[in-house]
Amino acid sequence: MDSLKLPAWMSGLAGGQAMTAPLLIVMILAMMVLPLPPFVLDIFFSFNIALAVVVLLTSFYTVKPLDFMVFPTVLLVSTMLRLSLNVASTRVVLTEGHTGPDAAGKVIEAFGHFLIGGNYAVGIVVFVILTIINFTVVTKGAGRIAEVGARFALDAMPGKQMAIDADLNAGLIPEQEARRRRTEVAQEAEFYGAMDGASKYVRGDAVAGIMVTVINIVGGLVVGMAQHDLDFAQALKNYTLLAIGDGLVAQIPSLIISTAAGIVVSRVASDKNIGDQLISQLFSKPQVLTITAVIIGGMGIIPGMPHFAFLFFAALLGGGGYVLTQRAKVEAETPEPIPVVAPPVESEEATWQDVLPVDTLGLEVGYRLIPLVDKAQGGELLKRIKGIRKKFAQDIGFLSPPVHIRDNLELKPSSYTISLKGVEMGSGEAFSGQFLAINPGMVSGTLEGRATIDPAFGLPAVWIDASRRDEAQAMGYTVVDAGTVVATHLNHLITSHAAELLGRNEVQQLLDYVAKDAPKLVEDLVPKLLPLSSFQKVLQNLLAEGVHIRDMRSIIETLSEHVIQTQDVNELTSLVRVALGRAIVQQLFPGTNEMSVMSLDTHLERLLMQALQTGGPDGVGFEPGLADTILSQTDLASRHQEQLGLTPVLVVQPPLRLLLARFLRRSLPQLRVLSQNEVPESKIIKVTSLVGSH
């Protein structure tokens, strides 16, 4: 591959392609504002005609519409180029038209004299006919085909996607080919939709051409007679020829590009270009050519008919039919080679390679969100996910598995799903280019937009346009973009499911990392005194209740100290929590020595101690009435704490902590249950709510 490097000048040319579109737009805008001399107008008119011919020939040699995917943009830019040329030429025609037919350049003069013989009446008729053909036939037909094509493409998308999935599941195509086909299906629908919209510009261009021509004639008469003292006949001749020449030099490229649009959207899927299809399908049957030659020859011998023209084409078609007939006879007489039957290929046996592993963390997006996760298009969400994993490692204490991202055309275009070990654990919608205004509960007004719910925290929110971002912030809304919405949702889910993300492999990597600085500390515990599985379970118990595991040295030292007395994972977890008590309290009450917490009523505490002695830490023996009372009273106290702006924390006797934490975790996930021996002596406990006092 190294031997195929481009020369330096070609590399520079390729690098300059990115500047072509901006320069063309600047040129179009400049022509509308700045006066141009006739010579420059000739250059731009010639460029416009050349561009139209290039587009037409390109449309002939495309095999499928997506080969010319940029065509809707070309249609729009070429239309704006013609309109800007009309503006520039009108300025020259009205200011210099009194000097003669070459006032606006040689191109307009040539179209005004050579094509219509200098007769402005003929020019008007030719111009109107060309405009009618372009407006009512070519452009309207191409637009209708694009409209119907877009509708059928959208209707066929589910079936095509199912066929792709069926081929993928059957093993006929690899994953990469399936992804390419899915992208092609989506691009085809978008292409026809864009062509439908772009064709409206060409129809408007035809109307604008008529209006500009009429305005040039009327304005030229006024300017020529009032400002330059020309008589009516001379002014009418000069300005009409210039206006018609100007109109023709714009309408002919417009007609060419409209024809190209019709060719692109009207072609049927095939592996041949238009030229090959015309020859192979229109002139391949000798019977058709022979019968047509007889009919045309018969018309040629009728008196009064142009004999030479008809007889010439009759001979040409007859000769073509004869040649095709002789070729068919030769092919029929040539014996066909006996095909060598290849032995049937046995289908491969299933192997372990066919078993696809389940991704620990997965993110699937609809096709409109692909730019957020496509590295080639900037992919801002990719950078955010890297930041999420880094912050997760810093806050929680271990490195989460990577997030495997893929597109899924079965999802809604703006939808996404987040999965854990192959099971969906969250989904939502994010609209690229819009912003989500989240109501934190104290906004000063309402916003118009698509009402929704923040997928991460369940707050009411509204999707708004970018133009209303400042207005939403002024009202007190929290405004974030689509990438931040997905990233925040992903961060919330992996943080709340940290215990499930800590697998055996992650635990081993964590121990290996700690062993680099304290190898003896790790060797004395795992696996000598405590199996790796038990150590993993202790860490998962901590993570399940929102306790980070960054202080791995304290965790290992505590386990090493008590593992000889007990191997019970729950007891070891409780002992580790006591050792991490300062960090747990600091996480819940940062920057203060006073802890405003909830506590149990004495009577309720006595009942729970009895239930614990009866049923054990799993809560067996809980009476239904007592369970409902605990749940409702705790919920009421938690709401009271949140209204006061406090974190809902329940402090209980050490034997009750595990029992209540497990019982309340499912219904009140925001509640934290601490034991009294986990609270450092330097902290002051202030009881603001009693559970069970009502």
For residue 125, the model assigns a pLDDT of 77
Question: Does 14 have pLDDT greater than 90?
Answer: no
Lowest-confidence pick of 165-179, 519-533, 660-674: 165-179
Q: Which amino acid is at 411?
A: L
For residue 4, the model assigns a pLDDT of 42
Contact 581, 649 (CB under 8 A): no
- 412-417 contacts, C-beta under 8 A, 24 or more apart: 412/366, 413/366, 413/367, 413/368, 413/369, 414/366, 414/368, 414/369, 415/365, 415/366, 415/369, 416/363, 416/364, 416/365, 416/366, 416/369, 416/486, 417/363, 417/364
For residue 89, the model assigns a pLDDT of 77
* Listed residue (330, 309, 312, 308) closest to 320, CA to CA: 312
Distance CA 78, CA 471 (A): 38
Q: Encode 119-131: b = buried (16+ Cβ within 10 Å), e = exposed.
A: bbeebbebbeebb
* Listed residue (362, 374, 89) closest to 243, CA to CA: 89
Q: Which amino acid is at 377?
A: Q
| Rounded to 5°, angle at Cα 62 from 165 and 371 | 50
Q: Encode 433-472: b = buried (16+ Cβ within 10 Å), e = exposed.
A: ebbbbbbeeebeeebebeebebbbeeeebbbbeeebbeeb
* Residue for token pair 């960090």: 583
Lowest-confidence pick of 41-55, 402-416, 605-619, 637-651: 605-619
Distance CA 575, CA 563 (A): 10
* Listed residue (273, 244, 249, 212) closest to 101, CA to CA: 244
Quick: pLDDT tens for 145-184.
666 666 666 666 666 777 777 777 666 777 788 788 888 8
Lowest-confidence pick of 18-22, 75-79, 231-235, 580-584: 18-22
Question: Does 479 have pLDDT greater than 50?
Answer: yes
Lowest-confidence pick of 41-45, 60-64, 567-571, 638-642: 60-64
Higher pLDDT, 481 or 340: 481
Distance CA 192, CA 146 (A): 5
What number is the average pLDDT over the span 534-542? 95
What number is the average pLDDT over the span 423-431? 93
For residue 255, the model assigns a pLDDT of 75
For residue 597, the model assigns a pLDDT of 94
Cα 209 to chain centroid distance, Å, stands at 37
Question: Does 140 have pLDDT greater than 80?
Answer: no
Question: Does 491 have pLDDT greater than 90?
Answer: yes
For residue 5, the model assigns a pLDDT of 45
CA distances in angstroms from 66 to 164, 183, 194, 273, 409, listed in the order given: 18, 11, 12, 13, 18
What number is the average pLDDT over the span 66-84? 78
CA distances in angstroms from 35 to 85, 91, 95, 251, listed in the order given: 11, 7, 10, 22
Distance CA 389, CA 513 (A): 17
* pLDDT band, residue 6 (cuts 50/70/90): very low
Distance CA 250, CA 206 (A): 9
Question: Does 276 have pLDDT greater than 80?
Answer: no
State residue 595 phi and psi, 5-degree precision. Answer: -110, 115
Which ranges of 61-114 would DSSP assign to H, the alpha helix? Answer: 71-96, 106-113
| Token pair in block for residue 452 | 């929704």
Distance CA 243, CA 169 (A): 64
* pLDDT band, residue 237 (cuts 50/70/90): confident
Question: Does 15 have pLDDT greater than 60?
Answer: no
Higher pLDDT, 111 or 252: 252
Positive or negative CA dihedral for 78, 79, 83, 84?
Answer: negative
State residue 449 phi and psi, 5-degree precision. Answer: 165, -165
253: cis peptide before it, omega within 30°? no
Per cent of the chain over pLDDT 90 is: 29
Distance CA 262, CA 256 (A): 10
* Listed residue (188, 175, 193, 164) closest to 410, CA to CA: 164
Question: Does 8 have pLDDT greater than 50?
Answer: no
Strand ranges (E), 430-562: 435-438, 450-453, 460-464, 478-481
For residue 596, the model assigns a pLDDT of 92
Highest mean pLDDT among 26-40, 179-193, 260-274, 645-659: 645-659
Distance CA 285, CA 324 (A): 7
Sequence-separated (6 or more) residues with CB below 8 Å from residue 283:
289, 320
Which ranges of 100-139 would DSSP assign to H, the alpha helix? Answer: 106-113, 120-132
Quick: pLDDT tens for 364-386.
999 889 889 888 887 888 889 99
Helices (H) and strands (E) in the chain, counts: 26, 12
Lowest-confidence pick of 95-104, 397-406, 455-464, 503-512: 95-104
Q: Which amino acid is at 371?
A: P
CA distances in angstroms from 602 to 605, 619, 633, listed in the order given: 5, 19, 14
**Residue 625, Ramachandran bin (φ over 0: left; ψ between -120 and 50: alpha; else beta):** alpha
Highest mean pLDDT among 153-157, 525-529, 577-581: 577-581
Question: In whole numbers, what is the pLDDT of the chain averaged over residues?
Answer: 80
Lowest-confidence pick of 13-17, 35-39, 200-204, 295-299: 13-17
Question: Does 679 have pLDDT greater than 90?
Answer: yes
Sequence-separated (6 or more) residues with CB below 8 Å from residue 599:
650, 651, 652, 687, 689, 690, 691
Q: Residue 400: how many CB atoms within 10 A of its CB?
A: 20
* Listed residue (607, 632, 636) closest to 622, CA to CA: 607
CA distances in angstroms from 24 to 29, 31, 57, 368, 619, listed in the order given: 9, 11, 21, 28, 76
Question: Does 328 have pLDDT greater than 80?
Answer: no
* pLDDT band, residue 23 (cuts 50/70/90): confident
Distance CA 325, CA 303 (A): 32
| Rounded to 5°, angle at Cα 213 from 102 and 145 | 120
Contact 175, 205 (CB under 8 A): no
Q: Which amino acid is at 81?
A: L
